[in-house]
Structures are given as C-alpha cells and as structure tokens.
Structure 1
Amino acid sequence: MIKHFHACAPLILSGAFVLGAGAFAQAPDFRADAEHLLGLIDEEYAYFDRFDGRNPARSANGVDPDAVTDSASLLRFAECAINAIQDHHAILGISSRSSYGLTPSYNDLWVEHRNGAYVITDVRDGSPAQAAGIEPGWRLVAVAGQSTDEAVSELCGGPYKTAAAKAYAARVLAAGPRDEVREFVFVDASGGEHALSLPNLYQVETPDRPLISVTEHDGIRVLRFNNSLGEDGLIAAIDEALSGERPDGLIIDLRDTPSGGDTLYARALMGRLIDETRPYQRHAFPQIERDTGVARQWVEEVLPRGDSLAGVPVVVISGRWTGSMGEGLTIGLDAVADAVTLGAPMAGLLGAIYDYELPETGWTVKLPTEALFHVNGTPREAYVADIPLESADLRGPNGEDLALERAFELLRSR
C-alpha cells in the first residue's frame, strides 16, 4: 500500500511520451539522479534483510551511473535498479512504451521457479491467459523467441540466482513490454507444446464495473471489490452494500484488488464489522533500527462506525491478484472480525510504499519503506489463509467459481 496514494497503481505516461534530452529546456544532470536513486534505495528500502543487508542494485547488471547521459539511459538505469531489488511493490512513476508491465496489476500469469522449471501456478480469472486455455501446472519454456532461462538471464537487474529471483524475473517477462503482443511457448501437463500470442493487458479494455458488485443468496451477501480499494466514492459504496436487512453471513471477495489502495477505505469496511476499537495491523521502520539499533514499531487501530454488523460471520476470499491494501484488508479482517480466510497465496507485495522524487528530473520513485505485519507478528507477505487453496481463480469444468462455492459452504455449515 501507499501511505497517501493508490498502491501499485499503474502510473504510466501516455504512449505518445517520447524520452529524450530535448524534452527539457535545460537538460538535468541525469547521472546525479542515477546516484540519487541508489542512495534512496540504500536509505529508505525496508527489506534489505532479503539481501543480507546490502543493496543489490549497486552490483546489478545494467546499473552503471557512468552510462547515464540522457533521459532514456536514466530510465533504463532506474528500471534495472528496481529489478535488482526483486520487489513487485517498488515502482517507477515514469515509463516508456517498451517498459514492462506491472505485476500483479498488468499480469495474468503467476510464475514460480520449481525444480528447474518455470511453472504457471495461477492464471487470472477473466484474463486473456485464461481465455487462451492456459492452466496451472503448465511450464513456460519460451518468451519472445528465447528460452525462458535465456530471457531471465538477459533481463537487466540480475543476476537472478535463487528460485525466488528467477520467479520474479519470469513474472516481469510474463507481463511483457506494454506496447507489444506477448509471445510464449508453454508445455502442458501431458507434454504437449502450445505457442500462444497474448495481448498485453495495457491493450485490453476493462469493462465498466461498479466499485463493488453485490449479490445475495439465501441471506449470505457477497461483496466483490472490483480493483477499487483506492477509488473515490468507495466509502459510500461500502455503506450502500452493507445497508438493509442484516445478512446471515458476509463474503468479502478481494480476488480482484491487484492495484492496492488506501487504508482509509479498508478501515471504512472494517469499522462496520466491529463494535469496539480493535488493532488490525503492525508497522515498522526497519531502516531506523538498522541505522540506530533502536526499533520503531506501532500498531494501527480501527474504530467502529455506523450501524455495526459485528457478529455476522465473515469469509474473505483472496488470491494472487489480491495486492497491497487487499492483502492488508485480508489480514485486518482476520484480526478484527474473526473472519475465516480462504484463498491462494496473495501477491506478496512488500510493505507500505512512499513516494520519493529524483531532484533533477522530478521523476517519482515508489519504494516499500514501512514493513507491515499481522497483529500476531506474521509478516503480511508470509500470511497463509486459514483454508489455503492452490488457486483462488480456478474455474470448474462448467465455469463454476470454485472458491466462491467453497465460501458459501463454509458459511452454511457454521
């Protein structure tokens, strides 16, 4: 999540934007901004424990301040530096038409590196990848005419040595450059090979949807958030969705919240489901302890508001396209509303991101600066649902929503 802005929102400049020093009346000192970015990562990034306390960008492929001479080379430098920290929640506020799409917001394939192979472990519901018939368990063997191993080794910001690093790089490649059709070769569970072309998700129009889709079946009300956790008007939409007769159960469906949002809206929902002030999330600044030896950590609380629905049984559904504030809301509902959580591993976006400005160009860089935890101390990115699923987006043979059906079963059996 972002402290004051929409988390993981795709802050992409117009496709007509052309990089070049001529865009500025007086060319900035681009190299100075390159050095400044490395310093920002040194000072502000919250998760250096993943790299034994060091900044991997300082020794990564493609991260050479001496090679930065103009806006195009600065952008490439910055993209390589961000890749080096292998964190889908670290984002540049500027891009070109050839920049890779953001994961999870503009990706429909979740890739892991397992036993030497790049395995599709989840496919986004309603996406081009799902429509093409790609299934969990398939192996991604080629990207844009290269073997996946070769493409990963050539992605700047490496080397990508661990399974987690290779998986990060493969997901970047799976999202693809934002102005290009994606070309893949997969091998299915039976050994069959599939060469597929998929549109980039930047090229796919999103249909108009309400902020929350509300349905009710036999007294159980379903609130599906349509990637809306940072949208104006959401508080009113939440209150409208919870109005009327008291439901026998609530299903909070957060499977389509990849772009995160704002704690304001998460607290607006949680506040309706409690009747006393409750802690819902822990925060920490690891870099303060790293620099001073003195820890700084605090607990955020949520207060009741409006007509309370405390005591109504709640099931939360989450998955790989539950990102940032969606992840925070999942662990928050677990903490404050005694919700049963059902789902696949979430996007695992790290911490709360803050905006920083490169002084010469004014470009924005978003870095995870606060570490976030469940109130029980579990890091948010390590949270496991009460009822874990391999995929929360998987459909049955007749198109049935398997995770949603399971949520109904849980509430009916209580």
Structure 2
Amino acid sequence: MSFPDGFLWGAGTSAYQIEGHHGRGESVWDEFCRRPGAVEGGGDASRACDSFLRWREDVELIRELGLGAYRFSTGWSRVMPEGTRADPKALDHYERFVDALLDAGVEPVLTLNHWDMPAGMSWAERSTAHAFASYAGAVAERLADRVTWWITQNEPWIIALLGYQLGLHAPGVADLGTAVKAGHHVLLGHGAAADVLHAHAGVMAGAALSLFPCDPATGSEADWAAAAGSDGYVNRWYLDPLLGDGYPADTREHWERALGHDLAFVLDGDEAAIGGRSDFLGINYYTRRVMAAAPADPFPWRVVGPSGDVARTDEGWEINPGALRDLLIGLSRRFPGTPLMITENGGVFGDAPTHDGRVHDTRRIAYLRDHVAAVGEAVDAGADVRGYLHWSLMDNFEWALGYRPRFGLVHVDYATGVRTIKDSGRYYARLIAGGGTAPALPRIEAFG
C-alpha cells in the first residue's frame, strides 16, 4: 500500500460530546437530556470531558500521538448562545484552539453542525437553513484564513432518523413527514453554508455522511430490491443531491407513497441550491446493512443482519473493513473528481485500565490495522482518498447512549477527567509514523 503525499492521519471529536457546558448557551441537547429516560444512565454532557477548559491538555495529546489532522466542531449553541448573534468570547476560544493546533503542526478539520444547535431551533423549519448560514459566516470570518477543511453537516440521515423520525435524539420528534422535511432542510443548510464558506479563498467545503453499504440477504429479486430501497433511504437520498443530479427518483417516489402526498417542501431551485457545492465528501463508516424484503409499511425492507458468527464490536456491530474498501472504490467511480475523506471510523470496545495503569485494547488495534489496510487497498485501486480520521480521539458523551460506549484512542476517567492513552493510541502513532504501514500486532508489554 502507498498513501499519497499529504495524506491526513488524524482523529475526531465533537463539541457537545467533550467540551462541557462551561460558558455556552442552552442547546436542544440540554433540553433533550432532561427528559426522563432519554439518556442511558440518566447522564448529560454538563461536564463530559471538560475539554473547553482542558483544551491545552488535549492539544498535547494530539501532539503526542503524532496526529497530522484533528477533526473538531464549533458548538453552534456556544458561538450563538441565543441563536442570532455571535459571542466574541466563544470565537476567541476557537481561534486560540486552531492556532494551537497549527503550532503543533496539526491540520484543523472543522465541523459546523455536529448535532448541536441552540435551544428553540429545529431543522423542521426552513428558516433554520438561513440561520445556519449566518452561523457559518460568523465562524468563517474568524477562521477561514487558517482552516482549509470545513464540514458543514454531520450525518444528515442520522439527524433526520433519530432526531425527527424515531425521537431517540434531540429534539425528540417522532414523525416521518417531519423527518423527511428536516433532512431536506439540513441539505439546504449545507448549500447555504458552503456558499458562505466559498467566499473565502482556499476553503474546502463538504458534508460528512453516515454511509452504510446495503447488501441483500439472499440472491432473490425481492431481497435485491430491498437492498436497493434501503440504499436509497440511507445513502443515495443524501449522496445524489450533494454530488449528483438531485434527489433519486425511486426514493422520492417511495416517500410520496409513504407520506401520501408530494414533497411540497422541496421548492423549485432547492436541488440546485444543494448540489455543486461540495469540494470533497466526508465518509463516516462503521458497518453495513444486510436487507430482506418485508411487507412493512412504510418500508418494504428490514435489516436482518449481518447474522451469525462474525467479528463484532461491543455494541454488536459487525466489523467489516472489506465493505469500507468497496464503498470507497464504488464512490470514486460513481463520483469521479470528488475527493474522499474518512471523517469517522471506529468501534466500541470497553477495555478499562488494568493493574498496570494501561488500557490493553488489542481489539481496537486489530480494528485500526484492518480498516487502514482497507483504505490503502482502495487507494491502490484508484480511489482519491485524502485522509483517515479515527473516531474518536477520546472516550466521550455518546449522545442517548450516555457514557457507556467507549470509542476513544484515549481513555477518560469521567470522575476525574484524567486521560490515559490506550495501547491502540500508541499503535496508531506508530502506524502514522510509518506512513500507514501497519506494524505487526504487538505484545501488550511492547507498549511503554
């Protein structure tokens, strides 16, 4: 494998998951966390990793791991506590943080919306796209001269699915029609923010999509149709308007049948305002979906796997690096000329510090090795991949799942805030130093 010169090796976090509440405004997630039973264990992100105050320590961790890039988000509810006017002190903070990253030789990858927005706002409202553009402008005015890589929206499908269709994330709405509308407005927000960003020279703007390859459970025509329907619902409904020729006709017809009406909220000119603005595509990959036909309404498909004895994370998700390789190759062929970046890839492994004070997370080491190898195979096959950002730098508040799932290369003791680099973090540092060439899986005692 040979990764191109300038390939970005890094990791990511998001503001709401690590910063804590200190000095910011009320978020839709603050409201959601106060709902009884909304968050596993009843926790919230009032402290999280306390990174708003401990950011210098986090920059040193990034430096120690040898990361060449760091994905983070500016908190919308921090930058605009009331949703309208920017707080200069918040922008001062992010300016200091970006300068510290650059001083450490680290490329900032900035996300504008990683699910955190001021209380009272909703993607169900078209006006939110315009408010988002104003927020993007305030951040860009301060940072566009130093930040090249900008992610407008993180995982539009997950925002629509969990926030507005199932009610499992903020703002906790459970209505299919509202979810489809919200997803459209998220994409409109991408287009509006990208226009603002492109007013600044040298900026690369894109969205990060949660992409799940959809495979049929059997070779039957019905299961193939189910996989294609799922692919439209999960992937193409967002990929095509961003990078192609507008919303895919088959999925649009599905929504109109399911909702019983036309998508009147998609106005003339909307698709043109979304498309043609992505300088790259961010890819969040975790696993795949295996689909079978089903008589369910409104979805004539169901997830049936992967089943059986396959490698899984502690969250039960199949570990399948080959699907990532094939996804990257397929995207590069379908959207030639669009650079790709792995903006999230990781797994839940609950290893804790042992008697020696270290975290011997050998399963995450194997996960890293195999997924980086898959990216390398895609690059060798011609995919234009510009970077790999592991999720996540550190254990953090995992939304409705609270503090149980641990994704980090760095262990966080939530009671004290103490950070401990896991064996996987040290392995990743060696892998980066080798330009992506994976060292052999080491004995635990090899890490000092």
**TM-score, normalised by the number of residues in structure 1:** 0.29
More strand by share: 1
More helix by share: 2
**TM-score, normalised by the number of residues in structure 2:** 0.28
